[in-house]
């Protein structure tokens, strides 16, 4: 199973949550041998004011996570796919080859931490709905993840992120009419067209690259790209990300 972990934030049941997911396994699904999902939900002792991990408890929670993983590997029962932290609770999620030994894994792991309260369980999930609907980022959440990676890279290069500069975007559509409708929308908002991309050997879709002077700071670029996603969806197309140059003070 390929390991490629992503960490992001979302809202679950009206509360802020931190989600960490092994996104690498998404290309290997559906699984041929793991039809059950198992969980351990423990109550944190010192969450912060937002119900997430508190600094004083982070090391201990990491010990617990490692212990659960060690026992799951010892029993050869399945794969660790993600965790959710929200409302003062941390939930570890595994996909299992069978569920009858899951209580033994839980007991062996959590028995080392008797001062922590927890619940656990398992159920059949051959379609991996928990992974797809709860752990794996939606297209919007995925865009925010990519936004912040680019922002982080710009910061490491000395960019302040607060200075406006040309930011180039791309979007793709199935028909010229859809693209023309999109062009009309974005031009009304001050964007300029850089290039129109026609069908090729690699794709039958038509594309467009366009740009505008904007700030690539985290919240600014999130707001902008989510707006462009909305417009592209309304025009029956798909937004395909952004890029910009480094600007130093």
pLDDT at 1: 60
Asked if 53 and 166 sit in the same domain, the reply is no
Positive/negative CA dihedral, 150, 156, 157, 163: positive
Looking at the structure, tell me whether residues 78 and 33 fall in a common domain. Answer: yes
Q: What is the span of the domain harbouring residue 46?
A: 5-135
Is residue 122 located within the same domain as residue 156?
no
Q: Are residues 162 and 174 in the same domain?
A: yes
What integer pLDDT is reported at residue 129 of this predicted model? Answer: 94
Answer yes or no: do 17 and 131 share one domain: yes
Is 70 exceeded by the pLDDT of residue 160? Answer: yes
pLDDT for the residue numbered 37 = 96
Domain count, the chain: 2
In a domain, 23, yes or no: yes
Does residue 91 sit in the same domain as residue 152? no
87/188 same-domain check:
no
178 with 126, same domain: the answer is: no
Of 217, 210, 36, whose CA–CA distance to 129 is shortest?
Answer: 36
Asked whether 90 and 96 are in contact (CB, 8 A), the reply is no
> In terms of domains, do 49 and 167 share one?
no
The domain boundary, picked from 75, 107, 135, lies at 135
96 close to 78: Cβ distance less than 8 angstroms: yes
Query: Among 108, 135, 162, where does a domain finish?
Result: 135
Q: Are residues 236 and 204 in the same domain?
A: yes
Q: What CA–CA distance (Å, rounded) separates 135 from 130? A: 7
Q: CA of 74: how far to CAs of 70, 101, 209, in Å?
A: 6, 11, 51
16 and 119 both lie in a single domain:
yes
Q: Which of 135, 155, 184 is the last residue of a domain?
A: 135
Q: What is the mean pLDDT of residues 149-164?
A: 94
Sheet of 237-244, strand order: 192-197, 206-214, 165-173, 237-244
The model's pTM: 0.81
**pLDDT, tens digit, 9 for 90 and up, residues 125-138:** 999 999 999 999 99
Q: Check if the beta carbon of residue 180 is closer than 8 Å to that of residue 174.
A: no
Summarised one tens digit per residue, pLDDT across range 179-196 is 999 999 999 999 999 999
């Amino acid at each position: 199973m390929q390991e490629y972990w992503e960490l992001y934030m979302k809202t679950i049941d009206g509360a802020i949550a931190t989600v960490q997911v092994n996104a690498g396994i998404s290309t290997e699904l559906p699984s041929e041998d793991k039809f059950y999902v198992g969980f351990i939900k423990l109550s944190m002792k010192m969450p912060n004011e937002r119900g997430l991990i508190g600094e004083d408890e982070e090391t201990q929670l990491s010990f617990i996570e490692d212990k659960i993983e060690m026992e799951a590997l010892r029993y050869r029962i399945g794969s660790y796919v993600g965790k959710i932290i929200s409302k003062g609770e941390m939930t570890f999620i595994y996909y299992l080859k069978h569920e009858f030994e899951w209580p033994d894994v839980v007991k062996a792991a959590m028995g080392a931490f008797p001062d922590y309260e927890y619940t656990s369980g398992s159920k059949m999930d051959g379609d991996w709905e928990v992974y797809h609907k709860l752990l794996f980022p939606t297209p919007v959440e995925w865009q925010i993840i990519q936004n912040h990676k680019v922002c982080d890279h710009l910061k490491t290069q000395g960019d302040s992120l607060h200075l406006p500069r040309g930011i180039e975007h791309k979007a793709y559509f199935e028909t010229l009419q859809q693209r023309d409708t999109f062009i009309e929308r974005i031009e009304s908002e001050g964007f300029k067209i850089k290039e129109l991309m026609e069908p090729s050997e690699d794709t039958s879709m038509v594309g467009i690259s366009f740009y505008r002077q904007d700030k690539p700071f985290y919240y600014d670029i999130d707001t902008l790209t989510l707006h462009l996603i909305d417009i592209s969806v309304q025009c029956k197309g798909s937004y395909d990300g952004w890029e910009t140059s480094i600007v130093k003070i």
